Amino acid sequence: MARDPWAAVPRWSALLAGPLVLLLLTWRHLPIPQRLVAFACVTPVPLGLVLAVHRDGHGRHYRLSVALLPLAMVGIVVSFLHPTGSMLAKMGAGAHLLASVAIGAFGVRRILRRGLGPRQEASIDLGLLFLPAGAVWLFASRAGTSLAGFYEPIVLLTAAHFHYAGFGAPIVLGVAGRLLPTPTLPYRVGTLAVCAGVPMTAIGIATTRAVETSSAIVLASGMLLAAWVLVVHVGAASLRRSVAAGVLVMLSGTCLLLTMALAATFALTGSAGRDGSFSMVVSFDRMVLLHGAVNALGFVTAGLVGLSLLDPTPRATTETTAPSPSRDR
């Protein structure tokens, strides 16, 4: 792992904080969706941010994001330990929103300095940009307010969607793509489908069943291709560099097979709760337990941890185009 404190400190903090937060919130008997969203804020978000930047240099936007992470991590735990709608619940979620906006600004800065290519880095950029959207939904959930005409539990589940499928999945795919000598066709198509499917799914849930159904198909198809890439191409290659990393990356891809099959069934059968019903083919509780937990811990977290062990070098990033880290000051 990188020795740079701007990378090492948030990385180790994330690895240590995640299990502790899950244990604490489980001990307090919080619902599983709340535990998973809180976990996303303290482990996948810091790990994804560190992987987005090259270890040989970083600018002020990245450093600001890292500096805000401890406040955000503590804040989100405080938020979930207090009643929904309380001042502390709002303030804690607001701290996470502030850090997420900074991370989104870092993504914008990467695009402005590098452009839209290559595909691997563009996927990472989109993940960084999706995070503030998830933080807005999370703030609304902790504030106890509706958003875009939706109420709980849809507000919280949409926050989870943007933190894992929106932020985590594109970054896992982008960083995994750095390990490929050349992007394969499954990788190119899968990455495009995932990056497009995330906002399409959110739009579909907020608009019509037809848009929701087509979006679910696009996202699920992209994720299935991503699973193939992670297991067959990236995971196999990773085993030669690190057995632990290779196993984690392959586990990440394997978990996608289950989670995406459930997600497609959940959306295509109307189980997502349009008209207020959760009694369709896939029950709400089963969806949360299997899709939510396996996606959070098996796909996103295992993938990010495995890729962190490899610490792949980007071929063309915002950092490598700069002659020194001081350029972004």
Across-strand partners of 150? 147
Q: Whole domain around residue 308: which residue ranges?
A: 5-328
Other C-beta atoms within 10 Å of 200: how many? Answer: 19
Across-strand partners of 289? none
Q: What is the pLDDT of residue 185?
A: 87
Q: What is the pLDDT of residue 220?
A: 78
Q: Which of 224-233, 260-269, 298-307 has the highest mean pLDDT?
A: 298-307
Q: What is the pLDDT of residue 208?
A: 67
Q: Give the lowest-confidence range in 144-148, 259-263, 296-300.
A: 259-263
Q: What is the pLDDT of residue 183?
A: 81
Q: Above 60 in pLDDT, residue 2? A: no
Reading the block at residue 237, the tokens are 């290659």
Give the CA angle between residues 42, 60, 195 to the nearest 5°.
55
The pTM for the full model equals: 0.85
Other C-beta atoms within 10 Å of 207: how many? Answer: 11
d(CA 91, CA 217) in angstroms, rounded, equals 37
Question: How much is the CA Rg of the chain, to the nearest whole Å?
Answer: 18
Q: How many domains does the chain have?
A: 1
pLDDT tens per residue across span 46-90: 999 988 886 545 678 888 999 999 999 999 999 999 999 999 999
Q: What is the pLDDT of residue 217?
A: 77
DSSP 197-266: HHHHHHHHHHS-HHHHHHHHHHHHHHHHHHHHIIIIIIIHHHHTT-HHHHHHHHHHHHHHHHHHHHHHHH
What confidence tier does 133 reach under pLDDT thresholds 50, 70, 90? very high
d(CA 309, CA 307) in angstroms, rounded, equals 5
Type of residue at 77: V
Mean pLDDT (the chain, rounded): 82
Residue 150 φ then ψ, to 5°? -110, 150
User: 31: closest CA among 278, 261, 262, 293?
Assistant: 293
Q: Above 60 in pLDDT, residue 271? A: no
Q: Which of 194-203, 250-259, 298-307 has the highest mean pLDDT?
A: 298-307
Residue 84 φ then ψ, to 5°? -55, 135
Check residues 60 and 282 and name the one with the higher pLDDT.
Answer: 60
What confidence tier does 327 reach under pLDDT thresholds 50, 70, 90? very low
d(CA 142, CA 174) in angstroms, rounded, equals 31
d(CA 47, CA 126) in angstroms, rounded, equals 16
Q: What is the pLDDT of residue 170?
A: 93
133-137 mean pLDDT: 95
Place of tokens 């399409």: 200
| Residue 100 contacts residue 153 (beta carbons within 8 Å) | no
281-301 mean pLDDT: 79
* Torsion sign across C-alpha atoms 297, 301, 305, 310: positive
Residue 35 DSSP class: H
Other C-beta atoms within 10 Å of 180: how many? Answer: 16
d(CA 99, CA 198) in angstroms, rounded, equals 21
Q: Above 90 in pLDDT, residue 301? A: yes
